[in-house]
Amino acid sequence: MAARLAITGHAWWRRLAFSRDSPGRREYAEYAVPAGAAMVAALLPDQALPVERPDHPRGEHLRLTPGGPGGPAGPDHWFVGSHDGWTPGASVVATPTAAADGLVVYDEGLDEIILGDDDLPLLWASNRVLPSPELAAAVAERACLLLDADVLRAAGVAISRQLSWERAASDLVWQLRHDPALAHLAGFRHLIITLAEDGALYLQRDGDQLSPWLALARGGPEGGQRQRAGLVPDTWSVMVAQAATQFVPVLLGEEGFAPTRMLQPAESLARQGYSLPLLAAGDFSRWLEVDDQADPGSLQAVPLTEAGDPDPDWRMVAAWRGAPAVAAAFDYVRFGSEALRGLPHLELGRLVAIDRLEIEAYQNVKALIADYAVSPDRRPLCLAVFGPVGSGQAFALGQVAESVLPGRVSQLRSTVSQFRGDDDLAAAFQQARDAALAGQLPLVVFDQFDADRDGHPAGWLKSFLQPMRHGLFPEASGPRPIGRCVLVFAAATATTGADFAAPLLVEDRMAAGQAVDPGDRLGAELFRAAQGPDFVAQLHAAIDLSGPNPVSDQDDGYVLRRAVVLRDLMAVRGGEAEVDDGLVRALLLGPHYRYGARSMAAILDLARVAGRTWRSPAGLPPGRLGLHVDVAAFADAALGRPPEPDQPDDATPPADA
């Protein structure tokens, strides 16, 4: 039987107004809906006791607009476009607690909320203020605390935003353990911190031990739904109401908390927006309804070191090993990003990333390009990208830039190893100058920038220094300005940034008087002669890409990376064509690709038949196939079965893991 809930806290009325033109007339309507604690009560009509409403409640006036780019649009998908002000008035509502099994407190940090003497299980929820240490000490043992991450950010807690879910969770857990100012929060038996409607960190306390769990609604970045569609302020009330349905039995030890049950309906509302017929009917409890057949998202324990701090290198994708990863990879090739639901991933145009380090790198570069686009700096933004052959360096950075400035990026590409002299370099910069004068942001990719020149290792580096430092390139008539542009340096010989910059570490050891191998010493001297240290100093960021081959024996994400590449290759070649299951299996599970994604593309082209289908690997010409993979191993993969899944660990998850 569901618990009977008393609800108290700040409440008001919200006026949601919309207008639109229709044939022959202009429509305008306002819907008055409860908000705050009153909305929580309206969402739980069968559990919440009657709320005592103030005579003159506050009012909030919001204007609705159809969904934004990338989100749903139409007659039944509305989002908040503007805030038109407040009507002043009282804000605290209360419910008698005598018949209640639990108490829900909705705190906006406004008028004082007075708790009675009842020793009820308590859910304290706020997306505005932190509870005071005094309050926490009084109620922590009988309470769940539900906070929005932005409350902590406003209080000075450093939580990364839209880098990676793993980093955000690690930031939070570490600070809750070590920041004395947050000790009263960690003292609650159950602490839930939401990150928009997309994720939540859930911490269980047992004595001095904290067990953290990260829950994801889908796997996209924090605030992703809001960016695609628009704002729906009532998602917070939905999360509070869903948490309210669980907290009493959780505090009584009868069952575990299921944070994805809290996220799923809120994420759905954020994605779909307001339905005008539902606003008119006032049946807000329908917002809590979820499809029982839908994937509820994912929940994963945050791995801790022996010291109790988060493992700084953990990746959620590491839990998708063996058969689960293979199944997700096959589903992704067939059905797209829905197959990645619950797995952290980033989608920027055609670029899809699932590895934590790549996601963080892309998000950093995206922020750099966005800042550069509005800055007055006339010098180029300089980026370097490293990876094995065929890892798609130029493609990746192009998609990131296009996601920031759609339709305004001009992508230019040159292969440095083919340059015969400075005139070729000047011609590449002249192309960039022309694009900049035309109002575009040039993205100039220099492939194989670390190529030799006239027998000198990395001999072209010094020729890039003046453009990087001053935004000028040499011509016969003198230096000329390039204009605002992004310079992307894609490496040929170094597969990681650490490999490229390794001579700098050798120099550090030499300066410290440490013994250095003669070969390393020579490499450092040649790097300095090429002005490599000066080149590195001019870079604003560097990215390491993994490509479609395993980078180590512990790399379990390669099959998903291959799936991402394969689906994109199929899409640009006519994604509706039929594809043989054996070919998909071989491309996902087969041996090392000699030329990375280029080999995958070549094999796919070999398998194409009359534009209608991709045939079985058995019909591929061995001679041409052997240019890209081990033919026998590829055939074995086409006929084989996915690997058996690893044994699960011994961790005991919350209820919805």
**pLDDT at residue 39 tops 50:** yes
23-32, 78-87, 321-330, 616-625: which is most confident: 78-87
Positive or negative, the CA dihedral 602, 608, 612, 613 is: negative
- Rounded average pLDDT over 650-655: 55
The 10s digit of each residue's pLDDT in 435-491 is: 999 999 999 999 999 999 988 999 999 999 999 999 999 887 788 999 999 999 999
| Tokens at 191, concatenated | 């602490």
Reported as type and span, the H/E element at residue 624 is: helix 622-625
Residue 617 one-letter amino acid: P
The pLDDT value recorded for residue 326 is 87
The pLDDT value recorded for residue 647 is 39
The answer to whether 89 and 59 have CB atoms below 8 angstroms apart is yes
The pLDDT value recorded for residue 372 is 94
Measured distance CA(558)–CA(345) in Å, rounded? 14
Measured distance CA(14)–CA(11) in Å, rounded? 10
Domain positions in the chain are 5-301, 323-347+548-639, 395-403+413-540
**Higher-pLDDT residue of 320, 394:** 394
Which of 68-72, 586-590, 619-623, 638-642 shows the lowest mean pLDDT across its residues? 638-642
**Higher-pLDDT residue of 75, 554:** 554
pLDDT classification of 575: cutoffs 50, 70, 90: low
**pLDDT at residue 643 tops 50:** no
Q: What is the mean pLDDT of the chain?
A: 88
Measured distance CA(147)–CA(155) in Å, rounded? 12
Measured distance CA(416)–CA(306) in Å, rounded? 48
Percent pLDDT > 90 in the chain is 55
pLDDT classification of 652: cutoffs 50, 70, 90: low
Measured distance CA(292)–CA(395) in Å, rounded? 39
The 10s digit of each residue's pLDDT in 578-630 is: 788 889 999 999 999 999 999 999 998 888 765 556 777 877 888 899 999 99
CA-based nearest residue to 629, from 585, 607, 589, 599:
599
**pLDDT at residue 247 tops 50:** yes
For 375-454, where are the alpha helices, taking DSSP H only?
A: 393-404, 422-437
Give the orientation angle of helix 323-335 with respect to helix 581-589, to 10 degrees: 130
**What is the secondary structure of 310-334 as a DSSP string?**
BPTT--GGGGS-SHHHHHHHHHHHH
The pLDDT value recorded for residue 335 is 87
**pLDDT at residue 164 tops 60:** yes
pLDDT classification of 58: cutoffs 50, 70, 90: confident
**pLDDT at residue 656 tops 70:** no
Percent pLDDT > 70 in the chain is 93
The answer to whether 265 and 179 have CB atoms below 8 angstroms apart is no
The pLDDT value recorded for residue 56 is 67
The 10s digit of each residue's pLDDT in 527-555 is: 999 999 999 999 999 999 999 999 888 78
Looking at domain 5-301, its CATH architecture is 3-Layer(aba) Sandwich (3.40)
Pairing status of strand 298-301 against strand 209-216 = antiparallel
CA-based nearest residue to 106, from 193, 33, 35:
35
Which of 185-199, 213-227, 375-389, 639-653 shows the lowest mean pLDDT across its residues? 639-653
The 10s digit of each residue's pLDDT in 118-150 is: 889 999 999 999 999 999 999 999 999 999 999
Write the DSSP symbol of residue 57. B
The pLDDT value recorded for residue 381 is 96
**pLDDT at residue 201 tops 90:** yes
Residue 115 one-letter amino acid: L
Measured distance CA(361)–CA(369) in Å, rounded? 12
Neighbours of 639 (CB within 10 A): 11
The pLDDT value recorded for residue 649 is 43
pTM, 2 dp: 0.87
| Tokens at 647, concatenated | 């044994």
CA-based nearest residue to 77, from 325, 270, 215:
270
